[in-house]
Amino acid sequence: MGENFAFSNRYSRQYGLVHQGAVENLNILIAGDNEILPYLLLNLAFCGVGSMQGGCYLMNISSEVTRRHITNQFLLRPDDEGTPLVDALSARLKFFAPHFDLKEWPAGAEKRVVPDLFIILSSPEGKRDFPEFPYYCRLYGQLGPSSLFIGHEPIRIGSFVPNIFSASLASLAGAILAQDVLRLTNSLRSVDIVDQKILVSFRLKSDEIGKYLAIPETERGEHWHGIAARLTLGGEELSISQVSATENMDEGLFQVQIPTETILSRLILDSVEIIEEPLEKRGGILPPLFLSLFGDDRIEGSDLVSEAKDIPESLSELKAAIVGIGGLGTWICGLLAATPARKCELIIIDSDAAIEEHNLNRQILYSQSDIGKPKVFAALAAIKEINPAAKVHIYQIELADEILKYLKDGLSEKYHPPKKPKIFGDNAGEPLDVEQLIKKNEEMERRKKMLAGDLNSTQIYLSCLDNMRSRWILNCASWLTGRTFINGGVKGLGGLVDYIEKNEGDASLITRYGDNLKTDTGTVKCGGAIPIPAIVTTNAIIASMQSLLAVGRAMGRRPRHANYFLFDGKERIYWEHLFKENVELSDPLGINEIIG
């Protein structure tokens, strides 16, 4: 808890998308405590707001946590009921982001502190004793029965009763509002920085130093000069490599790369400014944004008109398989676990071995104490914290071709919980004897048959995967079982959602993205030599759309006018489209290539 996260690796994957120093110094004032509040705060905290000189302030909120604050969200817990709301929110947020500074706005504070943005989470009929700030400095966030609205001026919604869509809608609104905060405060970069490196060059001179350095490291003997490098600030060991040598081999040019997560790198990188045009001028005006994925709500003048009828406050049953438990999957699991349902059953599949620190800027179920743990086990514990009654099956395996064969042949086994490793990584890399290898393979096949059984019994498949072939395999599984397939993908500040029903005339990712995806095993990850920039707001926006569509499907509702949804955070564009492919072919996905 005492670690200075401003200089950790936590935010390294978003440096290319935002001016991180500016984000950490933002002051945001929020009025009202509707269902959007916990999700907005989570997004701001995970972005790094308040980790330096900035912070968040609340006003016009309830004094204590009530039952209303605990439902349809996954931040507060039942034992927070009756405690001061600001204190409860602050304590829960600090568990995920220890740097986050949340305070109540004292009366008259606007004379001393001018917030960078004022967000109002109240209807026009609510309390209006707000400080006077310019029009462009305030944003309203409002929810309808199956829609959301964000704008500089509010609309009239009338009475509102939370329902099964409220958790996902509130999360979607909170994420978009947080991204609007970054945009209106000039914290978003207009040019994505894909990678940053700090290289320090040295020209060294010593007898035949070039000759010795030309020898492979494994062959260097007692005559090796033993040159190494380390940071004097922090003591980290650094790699050093020869770039060139003079003809007489008495000189060599070397470069040392300073890791970007060190204090030294952060100080240097923050002092170098990339000159770019801001996406929005400070004081700019954003067009109002209205989203209704199911097409039930619309705006007439300044009034919300809703045709959404009989939306229940609770589902009788919610069963879903979430494949991939990273940036998208963690948000979806949290939202589905928070959606009121008499029976909630989640199947979680992920092959990642360990949680890493750079995951913590967007993967909502994990905290600093989870670093090094397998994702499925950490996710299981977090989901049970949110919803102790939820039934959760976990699989730490790769989604493989065999699953399709088992689904076709009806091969399955009853689920049993896997054994949690005593120490993560124990015996990793050590060779197995033949008997151990046989047992390991038998257990793996058994778990694949269990997974086939679970996939056959669930309602919805949510794809949160990082490569196209795995998405295709899951789409094939949905075709074989007749289940709904909801695919999500993110990159930088943008993302998309595919909604596919076998019997609705669009059952194939191939018709949308081409036949090559069947063999495309390349992963889109935030790690690697050139990490993909990633930020919490994009993941929360796309995951919230997936969750909203899944909840609607669980009650028998489908989107009316679209099956493809795109959000471009760079340009702040929401776009939806209806694909109408002809899928009368008996095998539009090419499943027979695998199962015959």
pLDDT tens-digit map of 130-179: 777 776 788 999 999 999 999 999 998 877 789 999 999 999 999 999 99
The two structure tokens encoding residue 245: 């040598």
> 127 and 220 share a domain?
no
Please answer whether residues 190 and 493 qualify as being in contact, where contact means their C-beta atoms are separated by less than 8 angstroms: no
What DSSP assignment string belongs to 384-452? HHH-TT-EEEEE-S---THHHHHHHHT------PPPPPSSTTTTTTPPPPHHHHHHHHHHHHHHHHHHH
- 208 token code pair: 């035949």
Q: Does residue 313 form part of some domain?
A: no
Structure confidence at residue 422 (pLDDT): 38
Residue 406 lies in a domain: yes
Would you state the pLDDT for residue 514?
82
CA separation for the pair 473, 139 (Å, rounded): 42
| Residue 34 included in any domain | yes
Tell whether 379 and 301 lie within a shared domain. Answer: no
Asked if 510 and 414 sit in the same domain, the reply is yes
Under DSSP, the state recorded for 191 is S
Q: What is the pTM of this model?
A: 0.84
Measuring CA to CA, which residue among 540, 530, 478, 466 is closest to residue 509? 478
- Does residue 341 share a domain with residue 249? no
pLDDT in tens, 238-265: 655 544 555 566 776 667 777 666 666 7
CA separation for the pair 125, 147 (Å, rounded): 19
132 exposure class (CB count in 10 Å sphere: 0-12, 13-18, 19+): exposed
Q: Which two tokens stand for residue 334?
A: 């949290």
Helix (H) or strand (E) holding 195: none
* 546 within some domain: yes
Residue 266 lies in a domain: no
Q: Which two structure tokens, joined as six digits, stand for 511?
A: 């018709």
The predicted pLDDT at position 177 comes to 97
User: What is the SS3 assignment for 83?
Assistant: coil
Predicted pLDDT at 158? 78
Mark the ranges of the chain whose per-residue pLDDT is less than 50. Answer: 1-7, 124, 223-224, 242-243, 421-429, 528-530
pLDDT of residue 528: 45
Contact 559, 577 (CB under 8 A): no
Q: What is the pLDDT of residue 38?
A: 96
Q: How far apart are CA 509 and CA 499, in angstroms?
A: 10
- Based on the fold, state whether residues 56 and 166 are members of the same structural domain: yes
Burial annotation 258-287 (CB, 10 A radius, 16+ → b, else e): bbbbbebbbeebeeeeeeeeebbeeeeeee
Calculate the alpha carbon distances from 168 to 72, 243, 338 in Å.
Answer: 8, 53, 9
3-class SS at 302?
Answer: coil
Please answer whether residues 356 and 526 qualify as being in contact, where contact means their C-beta atoms are separated by less than 8 angstroms: no
Q: Are residues 491 and 368 in the same domain?
A: yes
Q: Tell me: do 342 and 290 sit in the same domain.
A: no
Predicted local confidence at residue 2, as pLDDT? 37
Residues 206 and 185 placed together within one structural domain of the fold: no
Domain range for 253 is 198-259
Same domain, 17 and 138: yes
Q: Are residues 449 and 514 in the same domain?
A: yes
- Considering the domain boundaries, does residue 271 fall inside one? no
Please report the pLDDT score of residue 364 as a whole number.
Answer: 85
Q: Output the domain CATH number for residue 109.
A: 3.40.50.720
The pairing of strands 289-291 and 148-151 is: antiparallel
Asked whether residue 76 falls in the same domain as residue 117, the answer is yes
Whether 267 is covered by a domain: the verdict is no
Shared domain for 426 and 355, answered yes or no, is yes
The tally of domains found in the chain comes to 3
Residue 441 lies in a domain: yes
